[in-house]
Structure 1
């Protein structure tokens, strides 16, 4: 975009021309334009007309560039929004399975390179269907959003929590020390989920409570690929459900 307006540039040129002409007269030297003004009385009018045309053209170009800049900003914002939607769950805003798999794949590459231990946790909300059946899907969605915010707020910056689908969530824990450290994280998540979820329906306000079951698999002890780690954690989750133990390792 131009920094100096067309009118300003043209006015500067005309001002300099006027100063030069006045200095010539003050010095007693005839202005070379004096005689020409009678022979070319329309020069000033033509100059003004040309100046106006140039000004309009430059102002039009500035306006067009501003419109183009605004349109580019809109397109860029739409592209970012589309990219975010492709890799995030629309209900909770958490990463989706596609983004989780990508981060797990990258995490495995780092773990192999640096000798780290990784953990994948598969979390399922117990009896969540009963909430949908009893209070409706809006209440169920409200519970999912509340739980998701808690899980995200209590996930380390290097780790990832995603909504796998329905009432299931996946966690990627990067560079964990041992099973004991992972167990502490699982216990903390279970307590966080057990806190009541406030749901508003019309004029009534309800506090709904829910429990969860977590299955845990670890790299490299239990599996070494994305699918195997997730499937192993899924099986361990069902084991914890049956045993009502809260969480279980492979």
Structure 2
């Protein structure tokens, strides 16, 4: 893209395309590599970057993670068009309250990733962020070092991972009833299902307790994984779907209580969507 100052910049990947939601009808956002966010007001025919994010005072300390410096999560506020949160790999969670002109970090309670550099307000490795459908101030986060919840729009994060077999994972989803689901993976390096069992961990009390869901899922010698964009839920129907890096797709019609493997096998699944 050509930026407002005439600078030409290369984007290596688009990580997410997100509608503006009920507060911003007709608006679409895109999150890209190099930690940038773009906005379209005409159905994707044209785009402009919200350059305020690149002008954040911490920008000089941003560094890529294993998958680059990707802006993978965009959460527009459902009733306030000026508010929005973004999640960036190896950088952190940022919120804007003025439509993207300025941004603030939301890292209280999140541990910094060791980079060998002086301590900074960033270097928080965020894998996914989701909001409760009935309370946009209640956010859930899958972090590099655990699962967290905020009850005040990211101002403070509290760990909620007690009872999970691993604190590492990628996707996190919240269903229409507010059930939270994560997919723990064994170790940062291996990134496979713990003990070779594909288990979805589900909480209906905001992360105070977790139940292992296994109905319809392989429980022996299944050493795969689910990547950050490969699990989605439909807030109208309650359906949930995820794909594995083995190329298999699983579907739930009851908000993740039971699962069915869909026919066929694909290549490594990086992203899924429900329409």
- Structure having the higher strand fraction is 2
Answer yes or no: same fold by TM over 0.5: no
Query: For this structure pair, what is the TM-score category when the shorter chain's length is used for normalisation?
Result: under 0.3
- Structure having the higher helix fraction is 1
TM-score calculated relative to the size of structure 1: 0.26
TM-score calculated relative to the size of structure 2: 0.25
Higher relative contact order (CA 8 A, sep 6+): 1
Larger Rg: 1
